[in-house]
Amino acid sequence: MTGDLTEEGLPRPVQPVWRGYVQEWDRALRAAGKPLTTRYNYELAVTQCAEFLGSGEVARFVAASGVEVAEDMSDAAEDPTDVQRSHVEWFIAWMIETRSASTALNKYKALQQFFGYLEDEEEITRHPMRRMSQPTKTKKLVPVLGDEEIAAVLATCSGKSFLDRRDTAVIRLLLDTGGRLTETTMVDVDDVNLRRDLLKVRGKGDKERAIPFGEKTGQAITRYLRVRAKHPGAGLPALFLAERGRKRLGSDGVKTMLRRRGEAAGIGRLHAHRFRHTLAHEWRLNGGDADDLMAIMGWESREMLRVYGESAAAVRAEATHRRLGLGNRV
C-alpha cells in the first residue's frame, strides 16, 4: 500500500481528505526543516494507515483475529479526524503481523507526529494515540547474506531487459554501498560519478555523503543507463525508474522487487536492510576501522556499531569458542 506518489516521490493517500491533510502537513514539515527522507518515512506511514483503513485488508485482518470492532472503519477511512485509538491499534497490529515490530514502531512514531499536527491545528480535540503504548522491538540478529545467496539473487536478473538491468544495478548498489532503502531510491542520475565510482546520497538530517562502489557495480549501472536511455521517463532526474510510466522507482517498488527476486532464488524475506547488515557484518568481521564504517553508513551514534556488529561478534565468538575447545580439555 503506497497510494500515489508526488513528483518529488512522496507518498499520498488516494482518499481526498486524507490527501489534503498530508499535503498541508508536508508544508509544515518543510517549514520545520525536515529532510526529504524524514518527510518520506512520515508520510508513507500515514498513507499506509489510510490505505489500510480503506481497504478490505482491515476487514480480513480483524476477522482473522476473532475480535469484534466497536468503531465503524468507514468514517476513519475517509477522514483522519475520525480516527480512533482502536483504528491505529489495528493498523499497528497489522504492521507487526505483516512486517515486523521494528517497522511497526517506526509507523507508530510517524503517526504520533501526524495526529499531533492535527491536534496543534485544532482539527481534532484529542490525540487518538494518547496513552497508547508503543510496540516493543524484539531483539534478533538480522541474517546476513552469503556469497552463494547473493549470486543466486543476481542470477535471477541476468538478462538484458530493462527490468533485469535495473534490478541488477539496484541490488549491486545496495550490497556495495550499504545504503538505506530510501537513500537508494532517492538517488538521481547526477548523484552517480562513474569516473570516480562514487555515489552521493542524502541521509538522515539531509546530510550528504559520498560512498565508493566497485567495478562490477559501476558496470551494472552503466549497462542499466544504456537501457534507461530508451525509457519514456529517461528525461527524469531519478536514477531508478519504474517499469511503466514516467516516475521514480519508489521504496515499495524495490521492496516488491527484492521479495520477488529473493523467492526466485530460494531466499525468504529478502529486504534491503539485509544488504546493509551484510556490509557492516563483513566490514567488522574483517577488522575494518569502526570510524570509517560510521562514515560509510552515515551513523552519528557509536551505538550503531554495536547494533550492526552483533552478527560479526557472534561469528567471532563462535570461532574463539571452537578454537579454545574448553569442553574437550577434560
The mean per-residue pLDDT over the stretch 227-233 comes to 96
Higher-confidence residue: 152 or 323?
152
Least confident of 61-65, 70-74, 78-82, 203-207: 70-74
Higher-confidence residue: 266 or 70?
266
Q: Taking 60 as the threshold, does the pLDDT of residue 70 lie above it?
A: no
Beta strands in the chain (DSSP E): 4-5, 11-12, 192-193, 198-202, 208-212
Q: Taking 70 as the threshold, does the pLDDT of residue 224 lie above it?
A: yes
The mean per-residue pLDDT over the stretch 71-76 comes to 72
| CA separation, residue 303 to residues 37, 101, 282, 298, 300 (Å) | 21, 20, 18, 13, 9
Domains of the chain: 4-120 (no CATH), 147-317 (1.10.443.10)
* pLDDT confidence tier of residue 130, bands split at 50, 70 and 90: very high
* pLDDT confidence tier of residue 3, bands split at 50, 70 and 90: low
Q: Taking 60 as the threshold, does the pLDDT of residue 227 lie above it?
A: yes
| Partners of residue 31 on adjacent β-strands | none
Total-model pTM: 0.65
* pLDDT confidence tier of residue 100, bands split at 50, 70 and 90: confident
Q: Taking 50 as the threshold, does the pLDDT of residue 73 lie above it?
A: yes
User: pLDDT of 160-170, one tens digit each?
Assistant: 999 999 999 99
The per-residue pLDDT for 138 is: 63
Q: Taking 70 as the threshold, does the pLDDT of residue 181 lie above it?
A: yes
The mean per-residue pLDDT over the stretch 23-45 comes to 93
| CA separation, residue 208 to residues 183, 238, 306 (Å) | 10, 17, 23
State the Cα–Cα distance between residues 179 and 185, nearest whole angstrom. 10
The per-residue pLDDT for 101 is: 84
Residues found in the chain: 330
Q: Taking 50 as the threshold, does the pLDDT of residue 43 lie above it?
A: yes
Provide the grid cell at 324.
579454545
User: pLDDT of 271-296, one tens digit each?
Assistant: 998 999 899 889 988 888 989 989 99
% residues pLDDT > 90 (the chain): 61
The per-residue pLDDT for 269 is: 85
The per-residue pLDDT for 205 is: 72
* pLDDT confidence tier of residue 64, bands split at 50, 70 and 90: low
Residue 242, number of CB atoms within 10 A of its CB: 16
User: Which residue type, as a one-letter code, is found at position 60?
Assistant: R
The mean per-residue pLDDT over the stretch 85-95 comes to 91
State the Cα–Cα distance between residues 110 and 47, nearest whole angstrom. 11
The mean per-residue pLDDT over the stretch 310-320 comes to 73
